Structure 1
């Protein structure tokens, strides 16, 4: 059991090293980068088909968007110090707090004045979207969707307390979805709310 634990920690350490490299790359290609609690946001240009959101906002190729990424280091710390069921609730609460912080920043920071929407890709869309106001879309590019699915399932297996014993039986349900929230929807839902501490 000890050897398994050592291997698990080694894999997690290696993954976090890769995460640091990815973060440096993301910052270099971004117009703006910020950390908001459990979320990181990188402002980049949208590349893809024109998208009509539920509130009537059009997102066109070349528009500025905020890419959202969960901070896996903080999630790992939560998994190591709390029970699994409690961690899910904590992540949902922390994500809501992060959205409040991002909203406040979007309203006051001139660097973010051209950001039309927020976007993220996750397997955990059922838990994260509930009550937060994100629109969900399937990923259209099949190759990118397959690669993203494999990557995120492996990530979940690495960080999930029970690893593959819990992830594999439900793998067919773990399909990545693109989450989108327009600037207007963000401000309408979170403006004026107190940011989580």
Structure 2
């Protein structure tokens, strides 16, 4: 069996797992929606209080919007234009999605209680540069370990060069929490200020 065929089989299995996970997600969320290349899931924040650079706080129980890239779209891009070009296109589409999310958070009653936009990523050195997120360490070592294993596996599945990249940059591929307060999100992406 060729490496390319083996890789496609692994990717298909991963996408099947994601389909199962997407069916479970509504059970643990208040609301979810799709914005371009991103999905958001609104749920209650668990863990310690978080202070943002603008002075606002998120406390346990407050609603937050978790942002997730649509891995199917990222995989299709990677297959169509190659991993390097896919990263550039993904970054551009992410910026467009953030504009839609910012406007929705500002106007949609379903998102009225959301106090922040959050996410976890390995790609904080590149893809999110200049988007306005604050980077925070993950709250516990256990969470960091689980996220590291999951996100490195995801990188391996979605990027044909993923295995090579993992070997070359393993020490840099540490997950971080992306955070943006509601006020920062709206000011940056919904108020007409150039993002």
TM-score (norm 2): 0.94
- C-alpha distance after superposition, 1:97-129 (max 9, x if no partner): 010011111122111100000100000112233
Question: In the TM superposition, what are the counterparts of 1:30-179 in structure 2 within 5 Å?
Answer: 30-179=29-178
After alignment, is 84-93 or 95-104 more displaced? Answer: 84-93
Q: Which runs of 5+ in 2 are unaligned?
A: none
The structural deviation recorded for 1:56 is 0.7
Moved more, 163-172 or 27-36: 163-172
The residue that corresponds to 1:17 in the other structure is: 16
Contact residue 83 and residue 161 of structure 2 kept, 8 A: no
1:26-72 CA-to-partner distances (Å, cap 9, x unmatched) read 12211110000111000000001111100111110000000111110
The structural deviation recorded for 1:192 is: 4.1
Question: Which structure 1 segments of 5+ residues have no match?
Answer: none
Match of 1:128, SS? coil
Residues 127-168 of structure 1: CA deviation (Å, up to 9, x unaligned) = 233111000001121112111101111111121122312321
User: What's 2:6 paired with?
Assistant: 7
The structural deviation recorded for 1:83 is 3.0
Matched-pair contact (CA < 8 Å) for 2:87–2:127? no
Q: CA RMSD in A?
A: 1.4
Deviation beyond 6 Å, 4+ runs, structure 1 = none
